Amino acid sequence: MNSMLFSRQRTVLPGFKLTLGFTIFYLCLIVLIPLSAIFTKTSTLTWAQFHEVATSPVAMASYRLTFGASFGAALVNAVFGLIVAWVLVRYNFFGKRLLDALVDLPFALPTAVAGITLARLYAENGWIGHLLSRAGIKVANTQMGIFVALTFIGLPFIVRTIQPVLEDLDAEVEEAAASLGANRWQIFWRVIFPMLTPALLTGIAMAFARALGEYGSVIFIAGNIPLKTVITPVLIMGELDMFSYAKATALAVVLLVISFVLLLVINLLQWWSSRHHEHL
């Protein structure tokens, strides 16, 4: 019995209680207390008032646009982010380091600067917008502009999540599949992609969550037309500018609850994918 107690004590890392206590304290200070303040402020509204604010036509339109554009941008980044990560890991070419550094540009660039730059590029007299306008495509001051901005800020999450997994893949597994007669597409789809799926889902969840709260890069290119190009974070900021704090937190609560449920679903899919891969 004494040996069992000794072995249990040996398996615990030194300082576990202290670090765990600090972790809980820090998360409460940074995450739980601010979130509880949102719910506390929202509770000053009656249920009828909360329902009126949360289900107003402007709010409903902002929910559809925010979640639709965020999820669409995350899916597009999942495809092209996978391609970018594949190129950076599997090939050596001139300018590879520069390309790898450019992936992190949305991380380093202030969102307001990104919004101004995108608005200038995709305006009808901008470099890219001028070419698109000839084809009858308008980006700035439209929902397409919001989609472009959210795609821009979400790409690094996909690439940086998939890249280390690709680097750790054993080439012998692919060689074994090739020796058994599998072509390149079969090797990728049946051997490589199942290994990448958990990381890919993680990247999608991170890009989606980042896009939900984006404000700086969107406000300059969206045009902020009510019922058309107003996302929920912009709507919340508008309520704050009018000192309607309870209404702003009510919208924030709806955004928080829906986004939490969606992220929970994505994490469950990631867990299922990992378990499924382990059983293969």
Q: To the nearest 10°, the Cα dihedral for 279, 198, 172, 167? A: -160
At 6, is the pLDDT very low, low, confident or very high (cuts 50, 70, 90)?
very low
In a domain, 160, yes or no: yes
Q: The dihedral of CA 267, 273, 276, 280: what is its sign?
A: negative
Q: What is the DSSP letter of 13?
A: P
pLDDT band at 7 (very low <50, low <70, confident <90, very high): very low
Q: What is the CATH number of the domain that holds 186?
A: 1.10.3720.10
pLDDT, tens only, 29-76: 888 888 888 888 888 888 888 889 889 999 999 999 999 999 999 999
Q: Is residue 2 part of a domain?
A: no
Instruction: Kindly indicate the confidence band of residue 266, based on its pLDDT and cuts at 50, 70 and 90.
Output: confident
The percent of residues in the chain predicted with pLDDT above 90, rounded, is: 18
Number of domains making up the chain: 1
18: in domain: no
The C-alpha atoms of residue 243 and residue 5 are separated, in whole angstroms, by 59
Q: Is 13 among the domain residues? A: no
pLDDT averaged over the chain?
84
pTM above 0.75, yes or no: yes
Residues 194 and 105: their CA atoms lie apart, in Å, by: 29
**Could you tell me the residue range of the domain that residue 125 belongs to?**
33-279
Residue 206 domain-assigned (yes or no): yes
* Domain-located, residue 3: no
In 31-56, where does DSSP find H-type helix? 33-42, 47-54
Are the CB atoms for 162 and 199 separated by under 8 Å? yes
**Does residue 23 lie in a domain region?**
no
